[in-house]
Structure 1
Amino acid sequence: MKMNMKKIVALALVMIVAFTFGACGGADTNKDADQKPVYKVAMEPTFPPFDTTDKQTGELTGFDVDMMEAIAEDQGFELKWENMSFDGLIPALQAGNIDIIASGMNASDDRREQVDFSDTYYDSGLVVAVKKGNTTITSLGAITADMKVGGQIGTTGADLCQKLQTEGKVKEAKIYNGLDVAVMDLQNGTIDALINDLPVTKAYIDAQPGTIQIVGDVLNAEAYGIAVKKGNQELLDKINAGMKNIKDSGKFDELYAKWFE
């Protein structure tokens, strides 16, 4: 009888321990050891200086990374960064696979119908880039119907390229998953012009001087924002509060100077 009771007690202890560990394993995966919320944030890293990859470490870096990390520190949460194609960002957010998009994304009216945006943090615009020394294309209007233009998938630059093709104003609109490949094709003559955001195009020119050049005027105004899933007001409020605080403290200007000056 005593042995049976010991077995029962031992079995009960095993069940308690198993339940305890099982409960720990099923704990909120959005919290780290310090019980800080952890949010998945994604970017497409061929959009410098906003989104790029550190050549030495292979880790995601750029203005968006530094800005979001500063916001996270201010608001007491952690970030888990993921690399995605640009056209996959919004679908991933809508599906709940990620919590935040921080990828130099234009907070356009069309996108606002799909996701919620933070207060915008950078004003930009589109420009036309050509191979260095090209004197034929001097502006958007100088692009002719026998030419090929390129843009990055999911961007307003790509939208404009496709519009030009639909209207018969270019021979082909070539849309790229990564902007780095588009710049290479511009350099080797696969496309005649590249339509892309001004600061990113400048970053490529600074990194590879003497290869491509900007022609004409800035085409249209854009404003970048951080995106969250529709209705996620709690997270949006955290991001906006953190952004305001890092701007008030001077941290935002410090990061801006690091990446743009």
Structure 2
Amino acid sequence: MPLMDLSYRKNIKNLLKNEQIKPLKRLGQNFLVNNKAIKKIIKAANLNLEDLVLEIGPGLGALTTELAKRVKKVIAVEKDKNMVKLLEENLRFENLEIVNKDILKFVPRLKNYKIVANLPFYLTSPVVRRFLENVKSKPQQMILIVQKEVGQRICANPLKMSILAISVQAYAKTEIVSYVSKKSFWPVPKVDSAIIRITPCLSNYTYLYPKKREIFFKIVKAGFSQPRKQLINNLSKKLMFNK
């Protein structure tokens, strides 16, 4: 169990002040300080006592605490050594494993797991792409807090799709679960956030094997190279074929 309520803004400020630690902008550290938002994430993940959860960037552990109460095991991957130290000192759960590593270098040797994370904004695209394309063991689903605009782009319908939307929806079903005010974080970021659900469609990987994937995304990038021009003109120019 946690030694204090880690979703309470005052507790977080006092804890960091006592440890002489400041949130790092370069790591996108904006701690979730809203219990309602945490409950929305938990509900969206549809957790049970048999679940294995990979949490990315647990920070001080507000979300980690609620995950550990509800699942079989939580693996929390945190890059910042200061945060790891505080997590180890303040969280007491037998089913919690804390890993001090960059998530982009972490190799998950897991099966039947879910990803639940309050992602630093700069990590959204690299993390989603890594776990949809590169790791052998795909998650059953990802429940992520991301920048509102990015969440809307990822979950866009066909008429409003971008390269980002296609690169995610080629592999998975996406949906926006809810929105979270920027005031739900400390330090307060400049923009609001969205909770999104990404559910990989394993059948899609049969068609998008590596060589075919390369061709597919080459065509997609060519199509979006000059959005205001006709598609046939973009494709013929970038892929060098006659119309």
Q: Same fold (TM over 0.5)?
A: no
TM tier relative to shorter chain: under 0.3
Higher relative contact order (CA 8 A, sep 6+): 1
The structure that has the greater radius of gyration is: 1
TM-score (ref. length: structure 2):
0.28
